Structure 1
Amino acid sequence: MPVIESIGRRQCIPIIYTRGTHYEVGFDVGRSFASIIQNFLESCKTLHEEFLPAYDSPEGRKAYEDTLNCVKANFPQYIDELQGTADGAKVPFHELFLLHMDNIILSARQEEGMRQPYGCSTICVNRGGQEILGHTEDALAETLNHFYLVSAHIISDKPQGRWNVTEEKFTSLCYAGHLPGYTMSYNHHGLVFSINTLSAKNLIPGRTPRHFITRALLSAENFVEVQQILTDAGSGTGDGCSVNMTFLDQEGDRLFHNIEVAPTECENESQLNVLTASPGEHILHCNSYLRLPVKQVNVEMLRSSEERMAAFKRYASPQDEDDVLKMLSDTSNKEFPVFRDSEFVSTIAVGIFDCVKRTWSLYSDSPKKSEPLVVLPLVLKKGK
Structure 2
Amino acid sequence: MSWLAMTTVGMPPGSVVLPTFTFNGPLVTVDDHHQFGLELGRTFKSTINERFAAKKSDIEYLQFLARRTPDLYQAFLDLHESVYPEYVAELRGMSDGSGEPFETIFLQNIVLEFSDCASDQSEPPIIGLSCTDFMMCPPAPAACAVAHNEDNDVTDLNRTAFVTARMGNGGPTWNAYTYLGELPSGAFAFNDAGFGFTLNWVGPSQPQCPGLGRGFLSRAILGATSIEAAIKIVTDPRGGAGHNYQLLWFGDESPRIVNVEAAPFGVHAVRPISAPFFHANSYLTLQIPQEFDNSTLHREARAAQLLPSIAAATPAEAPDALLAAIGDQKDVPYPIFHDDVSHQKGDLSDWTIASAIFDLRTRTLRVYAGNPSTREGRVLANLTLPFARR
State the TM-score, normalized to the length of structure 1. 0.86
User: Is 1:23 matched up with 2:23?
Assistant: no
Distance in 2 between the 1:118 and 1:304 partners? 8
1:276 aligned partner? 272
Pick from 323, 326, 340: which aligns with 2:324? Answer: 326
User: Is 1:91 matched up with 2:100?
Assistant: yes
Paired residues for 1:252-291 under 5 Å: 253-264=254-265, 270-278=266-274, 281-291=275-285
Distance in 2 between the 1:133 and 1:109 partners? 35
User: Is 1:154 matched up with 2:156?
Assistant: no
SS at match of 1:232: coil
Paired residues for 1:70-219 under 5 Å: 70-106=79-115, 107-111=117-121, 113=124, 115-127=126-138, 128-155=141-168, 167-219=171-223
1:250 Cα offset (Å)? 5.2
- Identity score, percent: 26
Distance in 1 between the 2:191 and 2:104 partners? 28
1:295 aligned partner? 289
User: Is 1:370 matched up with 2:377?
Assistant: yes
Distance in 2 between the 1:276 and 1:131 partners? 12
1:283 Cα offset (Å)? 2.1
1:377 Cα offset (Å)? 1.9
Distance in 1 between the 2:263 and 2:383 partners? 32
2:74 aligned partner? 65
1:35 aligned partner? 46
State the TM-score, normalized to the length of structure 2. 0.85
Cα distance, 1:115–1:345 mapped onto 2, change above 3 Å = farther
1:5 aligned partner? none
Amino acid at match of 1:325: L
Amino acid at match of 2:282: S
Cα distance, 1:291–1:381 mapped onto 2, change above 3 Å = closer
User: Is 1:358 matched up with 2:363?
Assistant: yes
Amino acid at match of 2:271: L
2:231 aligned partner? 227
**Paired residues of 2:357 and 2:367 also in contact (CA < 8 A):** yes
1:306 Cα offset (Å)? 1.6
Distance in 2 between the 1:83 and 1:150 partners? 17
Paired residues for 1:233-244 under 5 Å: 233=237, 236-244=238-246
1:123 Cα offset (Å)? 1.1
Paired residues for 1:335-346 under 5 Å: 335-341=333-339, 342=343, 345-346=350-351
Distance in 1 between the 2:364 and 2:114 partners? 38
2:63 aligned partner? 52
Cα distance, 1:10–1:53 mapped onto 2, change above 3 Å = farther
1:246 aligned partner? 248
Give the aligned CA root-mean-square deviation in angstroms.
Answer: 2.0
1:254 Cα offset (Å)? 3.3
User: Is 1:308 matched up with 2:299?
Assistant: yes
**Paired residues of 1:19 and 1:154 also in contact (CA < 8 A):** no
SS at match of 1:373: strand
1:163 aligned partner? none
Distance in 2 between the 1:350 and 1:293 partners? 29
Post-superposition CA distance 1:254-286 (Å, at most 9, x none): 33111000013xxxxx111011113xx122100
1:214 Cα offset (Å)? 1.0
SS at match of 2:144: strand
Runs of 4+ deviating beyond 6 Å: none
1:334 Cα offset (Å)? 1.0
Amino acid at match of 2:94: T
**Structure 1 unaligned spans of 5+:** 1-8, 157-165, 265-269
SS at match of 1:40: helix
Distance in 2 between the 1:220 and 1:262 partners? 20
SS at match of 2:35: helix
**Paired residues of 1:10 and 1:364 also in contact (CA < 8 A):** no
1:382 Cα offset (Å)? 3.1
Post-superposition CA distance 1:307-365 (Å, at most 9, x none): 11211221224141110110101111111110112486100100011112211101111
Distance in 2 between the 1:168 and 1:83 partners? 23
Which structure is higher in strand share?
1
1:47 Cα offset (Å)? 2.7
**Structure 2 unaligned spans of 5+:** 1-13, 26-31
Amino acid at match of 2:111: D
Cα distance, 1:231–1:117 mapped onto 2, change above 3 Å = closer
Which structure is higher in helix share?
2
- Shifted more, 224-233 versus 30-39: the winner is 224-233
SS at match of 2:87: helix
SS at match of 2:276: strand
